[in-house]
Structure 1
């Protein structure tokens, strides 16, 4: 599978990695991944602090508009409810949140955005 350059750049840009610095940043991650592999440790995005920050900022940015829409009203309409359920499902399926935690996260992010 070919790497998704557009996605990688959008993540790197979250922490100010320039086009010229992307090669160095990616090599840094590969070195960490290789180090973990030699130690039989599992590497994920949280294993590298700058990558973790970038991924979390990207996720927050991508979900910001959806969360703002879904948390802006006390009685969501059918479309808002559908979006809330989609975001909750994504948080559970892809990020391991339980249903209660996913809903709490939506409420918390919504409260931050609605300040």
Structure 2
């Protein structure tokens, strides 16, 4: 599978990684993955602080409007419900979430935004 350059850039931009600095940032992550692998440890996005921050900011940015609807409206209208369902479907189809996890993610992000 080819990398999704647009997605990677949108994540990197969340923490101010410029076009010129993206190669160094990506190499830094690959080095961390390799180091974890040699030690028999599993790497995930939270294993790299800047990557974790970038991904979380990207998620918050992408889901901000829909999460506000899901957390501020007890009974969403038809338009709001359609948007909620679209985001849930996108999380499932494009990002591999199961339906329960997609809904949990929306609730979790909503709780963080409402702090």
Q: For the residues of structure 2 that align with 1:30 and 1:7, how far apart are their CA atoms?
A: 17
Aligned counterpart, 2:46: 46
Aligned counterpart, 2:111: 108
Q: For the Cα contact (< 8 Å) 2:67–2:107, is it kept in 1?
A: no
What is the 5 A alignment of 1:1-115? 1-84=1-84, 90=91, 93=97, 97=101, 102=105, 104-105=107-108, 107-109=110-112, 111-112=114-115
The number of residues matched between the two structures is 110
* Structure 2 stretches lacking a partner, 5+ long: none
Which deviations, in whole Å up to 9, do the C-alpha atoms of 1:21-62 show, x marking residues without a partner? 000000000000000010111111011000000000000000
Q: CA deviation at 1:76?
A: 1.3
TM-score between the two structures when normalised by the length of structure 2: 0.75
Q: CA deviation at 1:66?
A: 1.2
Q: For the Cα contact (< 8 Å) 2:68–2:110, is it kept in 1?
A: no
Q: For the Cα contact (< 8 Å) 1:11–1:58, is it kept in 2?
A: yes
SS of equivalent residue, structure 1 residue 15: coil
* Structure 1 stretches lacking a partner, 5+ long: none
- Which runs of 4 or more aligned residues in structure 1 lie more than 6 Å from their structure 2 counterparts after TM superposition? none
